[in-house]
Amino acid sequence: MRTLSEIKKSALVSLWFMFLTFPIMVIRVNTTEKLVLWRWENMAYMGIVSFLFSFVWRYLLWRKETGKKNQPGGIETLSYFQRILSDRRYAIPAFIAGIGFVVIFPFVMDTYQTNIMITALMYIMLGLGLNIVVGLAGLLDLGYVAFYAVGAYTYGLLNHHFGLGFWTVLPLGAVMGAFFGILLGFPVLRLRGDYLAIVTLGFGEIIRLILENWNEFSFGPSGIAQISRPSLFGIQLSLSESIIYLYFIMIGMVLFTIFVVNRLQNSRIGRAWIALREDEIACQAMGIDKTRTKLTAFALGATWAGMVGVIFAAKTTFINPASFTFLESAMILAIVVLGGMGSIMGVAVAALILILLPEYLRAFSEYRMLIFGAIMVLMMVFRPQGIVPNVRRSYTFKPNEHP
């Protein structure tokens, strides 16, 4: 009887989807010949696909509920990826294969593919930076793109006015990002939750509007063009050579970011961030300086955004305020949430999926965003903890048995 009930519900869902998508999937207007084409077969396809999707969805939800009932309470299990990586038999060959793939990738792929991979690596850095603020410290930041813009314009303006190169400005971009992170952190020390999200969103929009309207400083909507690419000991590189060079720079930067974020996560300040995320009042009662902890999270998270902004300006050689909208902040936040809050491996995997998947679905140009959105919804329903969730650490007290 349960199966029959689920079939009826799935059939109703398919009828509802057919009704909603009727104008898009069935009706097509040929404006040149002034004809209306009726594509009834698309309606049938939509009904079949939505029925199957709904039925499978309900089955998976039933399996999930059954699994929760059967699982003993309080036991946290490792994810599939973490079990693989913790086993030396798989970890060492996977590591060697990964190194080989990374090294040969730009030489066997074309410039377009290498450019996409550089963008994905940039978002890994951005995701790991925001992971400090959101994933570890639990501070919802919707204006993270502002620090990204600060780094990009730091390089663009210094290169345009003073001719400073990439390697000179890269640490300056990090310092400027940290400065603006502290500047944002001070007014929001007393805020949390939705109020914090609203203020950080406003901060991001303020930075974008300043860059768009202060023509004498930022050149307004026209942006800054002819920004220098990274140099290799003063050697002039061609376009393809510059892209390969930037690719290996990004590999080094990502490895450096993973190392630093991992060390921070396991340090005293990292444990303070996690305590702040779990319970702010208890954290303060334990003697942790809440002000310093929050400001450190904002400053360090913004540092990585500032550095990626410099890399973005060097990659595109052109920047304008249109590149730093709220959608960028939303995408970076989606990477952190889908990957797993506080999980370094999860953020890296989610960045690769969210950046590469839309590019490789261009063959389905009419439906690729629909597919993209459906995958995200499935993730939120069936794996809300993220692709590679961060396993909570537990400490067991063992009393001294010796007299």
Map out the domains of the chain as residue ranges.
2-70, 109-382
Q: Judging by DSSP bridges, how do beta strands 27-30 and 35-38 pair with one another? A: antiparallel
| pLDDT score of 172 | 94
109-382 carries CATH number 1.20.120? no
Name beta bridge partners: 274.
none
Spatial CA neighbour of 39 closest among 51, 50, 24:
24
Where does residue 73 rank: exposed (0-12), middle (13-18), buried (19+ CB within 10 A)?
exposed
CA distance 6 to 4: 5
Q: Which of 20, 37, 19, 40 is nearest to 28 (CA)?
A: 37
Q: Give the other-Cβ count within 10 Å of 356's Cβ.
A: 16
Residue 168: what pLDDT? 92
Find out whether 272 and 283 touch, Cβ atoms under 8 Å.
Answer: yes
Instruction: Measure the CA angle with vertex 388, ends 197 and 144; round to 5°.
Output: 25
Q: Considering only CA atoms, which of 61, 74, 43 is closest in space to residue 6?
A: 61
Q: How far apart are CA 109 and CA 356, in angstroms?
A: 14
At 367, phi and psi to the nearest 5?
Answer: -120, 5
Q: In DSSP terms, which residues pair with 30 in a beta bridge?
A: 35
Q: What is the model's pLDDT at position 304?
A: 93
State the sign of the Cα–Cα–Cα–Cα dihedral 296, 384, 148, 240: positive
Look at residues 328, 310, 265, 307 and name the one whose alpha carbon lies nearest to residue 133: 265
pLDDT at 391: 62
CA distance 283 to 279: 6
What is the token pair recorded at 199? 């203020």
Straight-line distance from the first to the last Cα atom of the chain, in angstroms, rounded to the nearest whole number: 64
> Looking at 305-398, which runs of residues are DSSP E strands?
318-319
Number of H helices, E strands in the chain: 17, 4
Q: What is the pLDDT of residues 323-353, one digit of tens each?
A: 898 888 888 988 888 888 888 888 888 888 8
Q: What's the confidence (pLDDT) of residue 74? A: 42
On whether the CB atoms of residues 47 and 15 are closer than 8 A, the answer is yes
How many whole angstroms separate alpha carbon 403 and alpha carbon 385?
A: 44
Over the chain (403 residues), what is each successive 10-residue block's mean pLDDT?
72 80 75 77 80 76 64 47 54 72 85 91 93 88 91 93 90 94 86 84 91 89 90 80 91 92 88 85 84 90 94 92 88 87 85 84 68 72 71 62 53
Provide Rg for the chain, Cα atoms: 25
State the sign of the Cα–Cα–Cα–Cα dihedral 213, 170, 161, 234.
negative
- For 233: left if phi > 0, alpha if psi spans -120 to 50, otherwise beta; the answer is left
